[in-house]
Amino acid sequence: MESDKKNENEEKSENIINSSTKSENIINSSMKKEIINTTSEKPKKGRKKLVHDYASRGLDICGVCKLKYNLGDRIPRILVHCGHTFCTSCLIRFYHVDHIRCPYCKKLINNIESVAKIESLPLNLNIFGELVKTDPLVMRLLDQDPENPNNLSTECSFHPGKQKHFYCSYHEQNFCRECIKSSHKLNECCVVDLYDIEKLYQLNEQNIKKNNLIVKCRKKTNGGKMRKEEFFIANY
């Protein structure tokens, strides 16, 4: 029974590798095209295309379960030791006592004391940002416009004094902490704190703006050229 399961997993992993190599080739060729585009007269248009190209490149889909990432049980997380991203649900499935073996590169990630620790693996902010931006409901909920009758600081009509800053991706609605206990205990329910989502989303947006500004300033002082040593691979 156990070895059958293992084989199945191994087979699945191989499929992932095959499909990933394919999609990497696609990414490479589309990136090359992008470079050609950006050097021609319309650089802004080319860049916009790249940003909104997540779905067509298959980057919005988890390589293991082949399902779309979401803001619930399939939030995209990075296995920090190898850098590969999978949905939280699949990472939980691949969890083994105190470790996870990356389903893509087979790297062993040790010292994950409990399944709950998976939730503290960093989010893949590129994909996460796209998820928030392309979800009209979540974007509307995050909108702090006082005219909006249903934003995350609105008071719950069942629980006075409690703000509706939780969101269930199954019921597609927001509610207060008390409502979780009474109405979102189903297996299908996946509740996230919209304040966390907002904080991360704002951070991501600020980083993009800040980094763009840095690049812009450097470009001016350097005559359009970035020095090689100004790039870094990871910030931790």
Q: Residue 95 Cβ, how far from Zn ion at the closest point, in Å? A: 13
CB of 231 to Zn ion, least distance (A): 23
Q: How many residues bind Zn ion (CB under 5 A)?
A: 22
Helices (H) and strands (E) in the chain, counts: 7, 8
Task: Name the residue nearer to Zn ion (CB basis): 138 or 179.
Answer: 179
Specify whether the backbone of 47 is left (phi greater than 0), alpha (psi in -120 to 50) or beta: alpha
Residue with tokens 């009758």: 149
| DSSP element (H, E) containing 120 | none
Residue pair 196/175 in contact by the 8 Å Cβ criterion: no
Residue type, 103: P
Contacts of 163 (CB under 8 A, 6+ apart): 152, 153, 154, 155, 156, 176
Q: Is 171 in the site for Zn ion (CB under 5 A)?
A: yes
x-or-dash string of contact with Zn ion, 90-109, rule CB under 5 A: x-----------x-xx-x--
By CB under 5 A, tell whether 179 contacts Zn ion.
Answer: yes
Task: Pick one of 61, 71, 87, 121: the residue that binds Zn ion (CB under 5 A).
Answer: 87
Does 84 bind Zn ion (CB under 5 A)? Our answer is: yes
Q: By CB under 5 A, what part of segment 132-161 binds Zn ion?
A: 156, 158-159
Q: Binding Zn ion by CB under 5 A: which of 27, 189, 200, 208?
A: 189
